[in-house]
Structure 1
C-alpha cells in the first residue's frame, strides 16, 4: 500500500522489448511507493531483431500507456491512483547512446535528460544489477524488484527468442502484437452476432445450463457508461479490458467459459464508427482464431429489440454479413445457431459434446 506521506517521483528505465509480466510487476511495485512514476523506454538500436523498425520504442511506450489507461481517457495512464508518465526516447531526437556504451555513459545521458525536463527523481526501481549504481549517479534511492526472477521467471531476451513458449508471461494485448496467445486455463467459447441477435441472452443461458461462467460484452458496458460517446481510443481499450475480464472469469469457470463478443467484432465497430482501426486492435482481432476454442454466430432471426443504444434494424443484416466475412477472412471455423433460446442452447451443447453434461 502506498504511504500517505509518499510525495516522491519514481523512475523506471528499460527497453521493454516487449513489455512482459515482469515489467508489469516492476511498474506496479514502483507505483505503490511513489506519488508519480516516470518510465523511459529506449534502446539504440531501436530494438533487437528485424521487428525493431515495425515496433519502435514509441510503439512499445504506447503499449505501456494502453495497459494502464482506465475508462476516462482524459486522466491519462495511471496505476491505481499513481500517474504514469511514459517517454519514448530515440537516438535521432534525444541522442540515446548505443546499447554497448559503458554504464557511465547511459547514467549520464539519463541524468542530463531528466535535468532538461525538470524532473527530479527520488527513487529508481529496477530488476537489474546496474540499478544501484545508476540510482547513485542520479542521487536517488534504489529499490530492487524481483531481480532473481523468482516471481516472474521471464526476460525480454527469452520472449524475443521464443514468444510462443513465453506467452504465459505476456498480457493478451502485448502477446497479440507478437502473433501469439497466452495459454488458457479453460477452453473459451465465443458467441458473435449482429445487434439484437440474441447472443447476450444465449451466453447467459448457456452459462446457466452448463453451470459455468460467462463474460458480458464490455463494449456495451462502456458504451452505456459514456452515454454512447465513445472515442476512437476507446475501441482498443474495450478489446484490452474484455480480454482481462475473460482471464479473470476463467478462474471461476467450470469446463468451459462463454464469451459475449471478441476483439474482431470490436475492430469492426472501430471501422464502422471511425473508419480506421488501431494496429494493436487489428493484432488482437487477428489472433481470435487462436484465443477461442469454438466460435458460434447467432442468426439475426429473433425479433429486433430497440433498446435505445442500437442502430436501426435495417443495419442488422449488414452487420451479420460483415461478421461472417471477417470469420472467413481469418479462416475461423464457426457454427451458425438459429431458433429459440432453448434450441440454440441445445445446438451449442451438441457442438461442444456437452449434451449429457450436468
Structure 2
C-alpha cells in the first residue's frame, strides 16, 4: 500500500501503553511513510516515566532486523520521550499545549502532514499545526479501554495489554486456553516432547523462538535481541492459542531467555526480568525435562557438560520465583504419559 502521507504525528501519555494505543499507532502507520510519536506527561509517573514508556513502544515494534529502528510494517517509527520538566502541565489550556508541540517540532525540523488521535482535542490540535487530522476509535468502541482505566486497575484490563506491557505491571492477559510450558537444559528433549504432545492431544505447540533467531543470525545475538526474543515468543504463543484445542504446549519461556541474557551478557533488561517473573501466572503448568536423554550436538549448542549446570540453574530460578513444577523423565512415550496424567488430557 502506498502511504497517503509522508510524516504522521501522534502525541500522548501512553501511560500505560495498551491495545487502543496500538490500534492508533498501527492505523497511523498504514497511512504514512514515517510516524513520529511524542510521549510525555506532567506530572509524570515516578515508576514508569516517559522514557520507559517510550522504550516499551519501541520494543513492541522492534523486528528481527534492528539496524534502522522500530518499524510498523514498512513505516519507520520514531518515538521521542519528553521529560516532565520540559513540557507544559497536563492541566494547561489547549493553546499552551498546541503551541508547545508546534515549537518542539520546529526545533527538531519535523514537519508532519497529518495528526492521528483518539481524543476530542485532535481536530483543533491538527488545525493549529496546519495539518490534516485522522480520528481513530474516539468512542473506544473497537478497543474499550483507556490509560486511566489501566492505571486504576491493571488486572481488570489485562486483556487489553500486550504481554510485554502487562508483565511490567505485574499482570497477565487472560488466555484462550491453558498455556503449558516446558523448560530444560539444551538437548533435554523439550521440542520433541512438545511436538509429540501436540500430536497426541490434537492441539498446537510453540517452538523456542530464541533458537529460531539464533540460527537466523548465525549465533551472533546482541543484548537487545534477548528482550525481543521473549516478546516475540509471547506473541507467537498468543497467536497459536487462537488455533489450539483445550491446551497449548510451549517450548521455553521468558525465564530461560533471561538466564541466557545473564549467561551471554552478564546482565538482563528490566523488561525481560519482568516477563520472567510473571511466568507463574502466565503458564498453567510448568514441566522441566530432565537432562537424561542422549545429548545431540547440532552445532548450535554448548558442550554436553553444561547441561547439568543449566538444569540446576533452571530449578533454582523456578524456586526463586515460587513456581511449582513437575519433573519429567524417561523415553518420549513415558514423558508424554507423565504429562498427560498430570494435566488429565
Which TM class, normalised by the smaller chain length? over 0.9
SS, match of residue 125 in structure 1: strand
- Residues 170, 109 of structure 1: CA spacing in aligned structure 2 closer, same or farther, 3 A cutoff? same
| Aligned partner (choices 5, 16, 26) of residue 28 of structure 1 | 26
SS, match of residue 86 in structure 1: strand
1:263-274 to 2 correspondences below 5 Å: 263-274=254-265
- Residues 5, 75 of structure 1: CA spacing in aligned structure 2 closer, same or farther, 3 A cutoff? closer
Does the 8 A contact of 2:5 with 2:114 survive in 1? no
Distance in 2 (CA, whole Å) between partners of 1:110 and 1:267 is: 39
| Aligned partner (choices 56, 75, 84) of residue 77 of structure 2 | 84
Distance in 1 (CA, whole Å) between partners of 2:11 and 2:200 is: 50
| Aligned partner (choices 266, 269, 274) of residue 275 of structure 1 | 266
Distance in 1 (CA, whole Å) between partners of 2:124 and 2:6 is: 20
Match of 1:49 in 2: none
Q: In the TM superposition, what whole-angstrom CA distance separates every residue of 1:125-175 from its partner, at most 9, and x where no partner exists?
A: 000000000000000111000000000000000000110000000000000
Distance in 2 (CA, whole Å) between partners of 1:74 and 1:285 is: 26
SS, match of residue 165 in structure 1: helix
Distance in 2 (CA, whole Å) between partners of 1:81 and 1:217 is: 26
1:32-51 to 2 correspondences below 5 Å: 32-46=30-44
Does the 8 A contact of 2:184 with 2:290 survive in 1? yes
SS, match of residue 166 in structure 1: helix
Is 2:243 aligned against 1:245? no
Distance in 1 (CA, whole Å) between partners of 2:47 and 2:222 is: 25
Moved over 2 A (4+): 4-7
Q: CA deviation at 1:45?
A: 1.0
Distance in 1 (CA, whole Å) between partners of 2:79 and 2:173 is: 25
Is 2:215 aligned against 1:224? yes
Is 2:326 aligned against 1:351? no
Is 2:62 aligned against 1:69? yes
TM-score by length of 1: 0.95
Does the 8 A contact of 2:193 with 2:336 survive in 1? yes
Match of 2:307 in 1: 316
- Residues 38, 222 of structure 1: CA spacing in aligned structure 2 closer, same or farther, 3 A cutoff? same
Distance in 2 (CA, whole Å) between partners of 1:287 and 1:265 is: 13
SS, match of residue 262 in structure 2: helix
Q: In the TM superposition, what whole-angstrom CA distance separates every residue of 1:240-283 from its partner, at most 9, and x where no partner exists?
A: 00000000000111110000001000000000000000000000
Q: CA deviation at 1:7?
A: 4.3
Q: CA deviation at 1:75?
A: 2.3
SS, match of residue 155 in structure 2: coil
> How many residues are aligned here?
345
Match of 1:57 in 2: 50
Distance in 2 (CA, whole Å) between partners of 1:188 and 1:201 is: 17
Does the 8 A contact of 2:154 with 2:169 survive in 1? yes
Distance in 2 (CA, whole Å) between partners of 1:8 and 1:133 is: 21
TM-score by length of 2: 0.99
Match of 1:174 in 2: 165
Q: CA deviation at 1:91?
A: 3.1
5+ unaligned residues in a row in structure 1: which ranges? 47-51
Does the 8 A contact of 2:5 with 2:31 survive in 1? no
SS, match of residue 147 in structure 1: coil
